[in-house]
Amino acid sequence: MIWKRLRLTLEMIRFEHSVFALPFALTGALLAWREGGYASAGMPWKALWIVAAMVAARSAAMAFNRLVDADIDARNPRTRMRHLPAGLVSRGFGWVFVTASSAVFLLAARGLNGLCLKLAPAALIVIFFYSFTKRFTSFSHLVLGFSLGIAPAAAWIAVRGSLDPRILWLTAAVTFWTGGFDVIYACQDYEFDSAEALCSIPRAIGVAGALRAARALHVLMIVCLLAMAHSLGLGVLSLAGVAAVVALLAYEHSLVRAEDLSRVDAAFFTMNGWVSVLFFLFWAADILLFRPGI
């Protein structure tokens, strides 16, 4: 019985979509490894702890969001069949899952280093805080973005034991990327958000304006990636990775129009999964193949 509940909970939080932010965290770890002269001591274990921390944090955040929004989801025709409103998962089990996932996250932070453990509660506060923001600010999309954006900076700290301000370019890039695609996704709920007085960029400026805002956020993402590549002296493969991201985002935006949101799921889930994976592959190749001084 407990395994069925766990399976349903993992379905509820779309566990497989951990792929969205994880590649950016691993990129942050590789960049920190490169900056440290490719010192390999403990790196495999650190990578495993980083993956565990990322997956646990996302799982805790998603389950928390579903719990906080359960009543809203029940009133929304698009989401009323989600697991909690439909009664497939109990609130009690959901809270147990949030607690267990948070504990795994703290354990992983402890396995990395002392600074990670000290900062871990603050990270949980940030990712949990997002779930309340749609009730009072249209910038909730950027709060979600920052919740994912801290991942590469956290991975840098995990590897190096301190924060280098240059990695914040990648934090900003992920923030703008996530904010942009969340704005696109939120366009589906324009009428519901308006009726419920929930805050979102689509409700504030309309669907057409929101799609323009999403494009602007993704342009800012590209600017930040280029600044990141320049600040760390990365090579041509990193620029090829940025070009791949540009192409994928351009295609993503071609899938949705103000008068036709039927392909939002393809834009949101499929294309953004490819963005994060291809970005990681190009940047990892650059980091591993073009080592300074070799």
Please report, as a single letter, which amino acid is at residue 93. Answer: F
Interior/surface letters 161-175, b for 16+ CB within 10 angstroms, e for the rest: eeeeeebbbbbbbbb
Nearest alpha-carbon partner for 226 in 175, 156, 173, 161: 173
- Residue-level pLDDT at 292: 66
Check if the beta carbon of residue 108 is closer than 8 Å to that of residue 52: yes
CATH of the domain at 162: 1.10.357.140
- Residue-level pLDDT at 96: 95
Residue 294 belongs to some domain of the structure: no
Nearest alpha-carbon partner for 76 in 62, 91, 66: 66
List of the chain residues with pLDDT < 50: none
- Strand ranges, E, within 51-184: none
- Residue-level pLDDT at 4: 83
- Residue-level pLDDT at 221: 98
Total domains in the chain come to: 1
Cα separation, 186 vs 246, whole angstroms: 22
Residue 103 belongs to some domain of the structure: yes
- Residue-level pLDDT at 268: 72
Cα separation, 263 vs 78, whole angstroms: 14
Structural domain for 205, as ranges: 2-289
- Residue-level pLDDT at 42: 81
Cα separation, 179 vs 97, whole angstroms: 26
Q: For 138-156, how does the pLDDT look when each residue is reduced to its tens digit (9 = 90+)? A: 999 999 999 999 999 999 9
